Amino acid sequence: MRQIIITTESGSDLPEHLVKKYNIRVIPMHIIMDNQSYEDGSIPVDTVYDYYKKTKKIPSTSAVNVGEYQDFFEKLRKEIPDCVIIHMSYSSKASSTYQNAEIAIRKFQDIFLIDTENVSGGCTAHIAKAYELVQEHADTNDYADLAKTIQNWSKKVFCSFIPGNLEYLKAGGRVSNAQYLGATLLNLKPLIEIADGSLLAQKKYRGSIEKLVDKYMADYLEKHPVSRKCLYLMYSKGLSQTSLDLMKKLAFQHGFQSVEYVMTGCVISCHSGPGAIGLAGCLEH
């Protein structure tokens, strides 16, 4: 029986204890500041925030390139020569990671590429489900079929978030000055949903994050009948402990058996800003 290894990029924001629990191999994406590239995870998130405070510029992010993927997979194959690799890629519509990985795996056998069609906590939820499926089919010899089953779950994972700071969306060119000024004056916060791999602005909430958590979770669960086995609570550094505690309390009140906090790394924090909040989960079947 061959060992199946799940791999992903750092933009999945997979919590470290789940990386160890599921034996996931993670390849870093990149943060670029002043033409200097840093591996995601090699610098603290505060560095991103400090850079913006000083320059009023949002650091740019870049995908894993083809050569980096090839080196990554070659190293893993040397470590475990007969392994089968299932790579859970960051959304193909949000980054060129998927496309680069697709090119890189052409020189390898038995590496199966999955487009999670998601980011951050959505990737985490899909990876957790993939691990569960791998355990259920541990004795399979049809790895392509297993990969197809895992890919199909991309349509059953639902993720959304509310940015903590609209300045990051404005500085990154994701909202116009008029939209930014209107939202700021009215204290409005846009809901960003990941749909078919793309980030789409949906409804807007009014007020502080702490005051809208209850409404946000109720709206999310009304729209997405996700499994009550686990809810993934996303946040970026800067979200208050009060909001984190309330998120967890509400999750249990809504019948979830467990929750996982997913803190955004540098890549996602470049888009969400400090103090963002988000939810991710997947269907029961």
End-to-end CA distance of the chain: 27
Average pLDDT over residues 104-114: 97
Mean pLDDT of 252-274: 94
The token pair at 101 is: 């990985």
- 3-state SS assignment for residue 212: helix
In this structure, the answer to whether residues 168 and 255 fall within a common structural domain is: yes
Output the CA angle 275-234-169, nearest 5 degrees: 45
| Percent over 90 (pLDDT), the chain | 77
- Rounded to an integer, the average pLDDT of 205-232 is 93
142 and 15 housed in the same domain:
yes
Q: Say yes or no: 237 and 130 in one domain.
A: no
Q: Which of 101, 119, 116, 108 is nearest to 147 (CA)?
A: 116
Asked if pLDDT for residue 180 goes beyond 60, the answer is no
Point out the least confidently predicted range of 127-136, 185-194, 199-208, 214-223: 185-194
Alpha helices in 63-137 (DSSP H): 66-79, 97-104, 120-136
Residues 245 and 271 in one domain: yes
Provide the H-helix boundaries in 116-237: 120-136, 143-152, 166-171, 177-185, 209-223
Give the predicted TM-score (pTM) of the model.
0.93
Residue where a domain terminates, one of 91, 122, 155: 155
57 versus 259: which is more confidently predicted? 259
Is it the case that residue 198 has pLDDT exceeding 90?
no
How large is the average pLDDT for residues 175-195?
58
Give the pLDDT of residue 182.
Answer: 41
**121 within domain boundaries:** yes
Residue 7 pLDDT greater than 70, yes or no: yes
- Tokens 């060992």 belong to 3
In a domain, 36, yes or no: no
